[in-house]
Amino acid sequence: MSASATSADLLIREIRADEFHRLWPLFQAVIAPGDTYSYPPDLTMEQACEWWTTPPSRCFIAESNGEILGCYMLRPNQPGLGDHVANAGYMVSPAARGQGIAGILCEHSLQQAREAGFTAMQFNFVVSTNNSAVRVWQRHGFTIVGQVPGAFRHATLGPTDIYVMHRYL
Amino acid sequence: MSASATSADLLIREIRADEFHRLWPLFQAVIAPGDTYSYPPDLTMEQACEWWTTPPSRCFIAESNGEILGCYMLRPNQPGLGDHVANAGYMVSPAARGQGIAGILCEHSLQQAREAGFTAMQFNFVVSTNNSAVRVWQRHGFTIVGQVPGAFRHATLGPTDIYVMHRYL
């Protein structure tokens, strides 16, 4: 990988449950520090796979030379009368940080969401101390529309606020 | 029922899936107008029952003389490192509105949440035009911590903002 990833470097494609095991090492590496996701430390692959691949949730991976560098999940944020708003969650391999992959994943997810008919996207749980993530989402059109005090038990910082972020598509 | 319900008038108790069918007519009556909940109009009892009674979700009903006048669902708002924050949703029978039942249910849920070890409660999807609900939650200590534009397709008002509301326990 070059120091700055481009869409051309990455093959982004949707996967189903049968390939989730390939993603699991990255998934575990991202949640292990307990600084960005609320997933429990003892999360099983089976539970993660169910959350990320069971319709209406859709799972996408970004590969370069057969190595998975990132992934995201796309789904309706609510059922029924709220299902025009998408929700997404992104992960980048710790070894592939600083290459712009989060932004590439975000753009890809926005396009997928548009094609699926969503008219907005909402993040429910952006950890407020995750500055790099907050900046990337802002650069891609999201604004902070809510702040919930202490909703995340950060592994090293303790009770930490989370942001709700939103943009139209 | 008297014009103003008291806790003494109501028996509030937890139910499991096997009793959910008794609650279903009220549930349907509440979601049918499409003005407060995002549940799809064609929601099945089976799906509703699963959402409201499958652990960690817990379902409570409020009865008076054997008639169900309201209900609520209590659960962690997030898994793992966010599971200290409770989430709840409340329904009051259209025939029993204006008797203070929502407030009684809310107080009951706050106590149940404390007893279960939660330290805060968050509502993710309070329809901003549902003034009576917003006032009740504010009276019971909740504040608006977020506002998502157009996240609810209100049956008569069209795209409508939703509030995120929060209180410590």
Provide the pLDDT for residue B88.
98
Task: Tokens 């049968």: give the residue.
Answer: A18
Question: Which B positions 82-101 lie with beta carbon below 8 A of chain A?
Answer: 82-85
Residue among B141, B139, B131, B140 at smallest CA distance from B163: B131
Q: Report the residue of chain A nearest B161, measured CA to CA.
A: A82
Provide the pLDDT for residue B20.
98
Which residue ranges in chain A fall short of pLDDT 70? 1-8
Q: What is the CA radius of gyration of chain A?
A: 15
Residues of A in contact with B160 (CB under 8 A): none
User: Token pair of B34, please?
Assistant: 């499409």
Check whether B9 has a pLDDT greater than 90: no
Contact B81 A120 (CB under 8 A): no
ipTM: 0.93
pLDDT band at B2 (very low <50, low <70, confident <90, very high): very low
For residue range B114-166, list pLDDT tens digits in order: 999 999 999 999 999 999 999 999 999 999 999 999 999 999 999 999 999 99
Domain assignment present for B152: yes
**Per-state percent for chain B, helix, strand, coil, to nearest 5:** 35, 35, 30
For position B113, which CATH number holds?
A: 3.40.630.30
Provide the pLDDT for residue B3.
45
CB nearest B38 (choices: A38, A80, A151): A80
Does a cis peptide bond (omega within 30 degrees of 0) precede residue B56? yes
For residue range B11-69, list pLDDT tens digits in order: 999 999 999 999 999 999 999 999 999 999 889 999 999 999 999 999 999 999 999 99
Residue A104, φ and ψ in degrees, nearest 5? -65, -45
Interstrand relation of A120-127 and A85-92 (parallel, antiparallel or unpaired): parallel
β partners of residue A13? A61
State how far the Cα of B44 lies from the Cα of B47, in Å rounded to an integer: 5
Domain assignment present for A38: yes
Please give the angle made by the CA atoms of A38, A100 and A121, to the nearest 5 degrees: 55
Domain assignment present for B1: no
Provide the pLDDT for residue A2.
41
Contact A152 B82 (CB under 8 A): yes
For chain B, what is the domain count?
1
Q: Which residues of B40-69 are buried (b: 16+ CB within 10 A; e: fewer)?
A: beebeeeebbebbbeeeebbbbbbbeeebb
Check whether B95 has a pLDDT greater than 70: yes
Beta-strand runs (E) in chain A: 11-15, 58-64, 67-76, 85-92, 120-127, 143-154, 158-168
For residue range A50-63, list pLDDT tens digits in order: 999 999 999 999 99
For residue range B66-93, list pLDDT tens digits in order: 999 999 999 999 999 999 999 999 999 9
β partners of residue B72? B60, B90
Domain assignment present for A2: no
Q: What are the residues whose beta carbons fall under 8 Å from the beta carbon of B42, sequence distance 6 or more?
A: none
User: Token pair of A165, please?
Assistant: 């972020």
Domain assignment present for A1: no
Domain assignment present for B2: no
pTM, rounded to two decimals: 0.94
Check whether B8 has a pLDDT greater than 80: no
Residues of A in contact with B164 (CB under 8 A): 146, 148, 164
Domain assignment present for A138: yes
Domain assignment present for B149: yes
Q: Which residues of A147-162 are buried (b: 16+ CB within 10 A; e: fewer)?
A: bbbbbbbbeeeeebbb
Question: What is the span of the domain harbouring residue B15?
Answer: 7-168
Provide the pLDDT for residue A42.
87
